[in-house]
Amino acid sequence: SSSVMNISEHLSCPLGFGHYNAVDVCILETVVIVLLTFLIIAGNLTVIFVFHCAPLLHHYTTSYFIQTMAYADLFVGVSCLVPTLSLLHYPTGVHESLTCQVFGYIISVLKSVSMACLACISVDRYLAITKPLSYNQLVTPCRLRICITLIWIYSCLIFLPSFFGWGKPGYHGDIFEWCATSWLTNAYFTGFIVCLLYAPAAFVICFTYFHIFKICRQHTKEINDRRARFPSHEVDAAGDTGHSPDRRYAMVLFRITSVFYVLWLPYIIYFLLESSRVLENPALSFLTTWLAISNSFCNCVIYSLSNSVFRLGLRRLSETICSSC
C-alpha cells in the first residue's frame, strides 16, 4: 500500500475525483496501462512472426503496409513501458518534462505511421481493382519501400514543431504531472495536424473505399445478370475467379480501417475541443487516449479473425512452437 501511495503522490491521476479514492483510481489506471502494454506487444509480435512464417501473405502488396503497421504498433507497446514503469514507481532517470515530450512525440509519430499506412492500403486496393492490367507495373516492391520510407519521414517531421514550444502533439490522458499542468495544447498546432494528417487520410480512405465497393457492386450485378441469361458452368467459373478475392480482402482492410477510426474519433474530437479551450476533463482525456492506443492491439485481432491465410500461418506457427516445446 505504501508503494501505491507513492504512485498517487508522484503521478497525476486523471480519473481521480477525490482524495479518498485517488489510490484506487491509480491502481485502476495502472492495471489498464499494464494490460494494454502487454497485449499490444504480444499481439504485434505474433503478427510479425506469422508474416515471416506464412509465405502466402507476401503475395499481397499490402503486406508491406500491414507489417509496417505491426512494427509501429509494437513500438507503441514498447513506448507504453515508460508510463507503465513510472506507475509501478520505477524511476526513469530522465527529467520529467523531457520524458513527457519524447513519449508524446513518439506515440504521435507511430500512430501517424499507422494512419498513413491505412490510407496507402486503401489506395493500393483502389489501384488493384480499377487498374488490374497495369497494377503490377504501377505498384512495385521498390516503390512500396520508397512509400513506406516517406511515410516515416513525413510522420517524424509533422510533429517536430512540438519540441520548439508550438503546442502539444496530441498525447492526452497524462500520466506525468508536468504533461497535465505545464504542457498545453495549441489550437493552431492542432489545426496544422488536422489539415496535414487527419483530414487528408480520412478523405483518401473514404474516397477509395467508396469507389472500391461501388465497382465491386457493379461487377456482382453484371455477374448475376450473366448467370440469369446464360446459366452455364463457364459463367459461374468466370464469376468466381473475378473480383471476389479482391473484394473479400478489401473487406478485411475496411474493417481494420473502420475500427481504427471508431477508436480514434473520440480522441480526435477531444483533442480539438481541448485545444480550443472548450472542454477540459481529465477523465475523458485518459479514457479517449488509452481507447485510441488500444487500437494497436485490435488490428491483430481483426486480421487474425478475418484472413484465412493469416489463420493458417498462425496455426503453423503454433504447431512449430508446440513441437519444439
Reported as a single tens digit per residue, the pLDDT across 110-166 is 889 988 988 898 898 888 888 888 888 888 889 999 999 999 999 999 998 888 878
d(CA 122, CA 201): 10
pLDDT for position 306: 67
Average confidence (pLDDT) over 190-218? 86
Range name among 139-148, 211-220, 264-273 with the lowest pLDDT average: 211-220
* Domain range annotation of the chain: 27-226+244-324
d(CA 11, CA 82): 13
CATH architecture of the domain formed by 27-226+244-324 = Up-down Bundle (1.20)
pLDDT for position 11: 47
Which of 44 and 185 is assigned the larger pLDDT?
44
Q: How confident is the model at residue 304 (pLDDT cuts 50, 70, 90)?
A: low
Closest Cα to residue 17, out of 281, 277, 273?
A: 281
Q: Which of 35-49, 50-64, 73-87, 302-316 has the highest mean pLDDT?
A: 35-49
pLDDT for position 8: 45
Which of 81 and 95 is assigned the larger pLDDT?
81
Q: How confident is the model at residue 18 (pLDDT cuts 50, 70, 90)?
A: very low
H or E element in which residue 237 lies: helix 233-240
Q: What percent of the chain has pLDDT over 70?
A: 75
Which of 93 and 114 is assigned the larger pLDDT?
114
Closest Cα to residue 183, out of 263, 274, 94, 267?
A: 274
Average confidence (pLDDT) over 251-271? 82
Q: Is it the case that residue 213 has pLDDT exceeding 60?
A: yes
Average confidence (pLDDT) over 254-266? 83
Q: What percent of the chain has pLDDT over 90?
A: 6
Q: How confident is the model at residue 25 (pLDDT cuts 50, 70, 90)?
A: low
CB 117 within 8 Å of CB 68: yes
Buried b (16+ CB within 10 A) or exposed e, 77-91: bebbebbbebbeeee
Q: State the chain's mean pLDDT as an integer.
A: 76
pLDDT for position 3: 44
pLDDT for position 7: 43
Q: How confident is the model at residue 9 (pLDDT cuts 50, 70, 90)?
A: very low
Q: Is it the case that residue 258 has pLDDT exceeding 80?
A: yes
What are the DSSP E strand ranges found in the chain?
none
Q: How confident is the model at residue 4 (pLDDT cuts 50, 70, 90)?
A: very low
- The dihedral sign for the CA sequence 141, 143, 146, 150: negative
Q: How confident is the model at residue 13 (pLDDT cuts 50, 70, 90)?
A: low
Which of 242 and 246 is assigned the larger pLDDT?
246
pLDDT for position 153: 95
Q: Is it the case that residue 59 has pLDDT exceeding 70?
A: no
Provide the grid cell at 84: 507503465
Q: Is it the case that residue 246 has pLDDT exceeding 70?
A: no
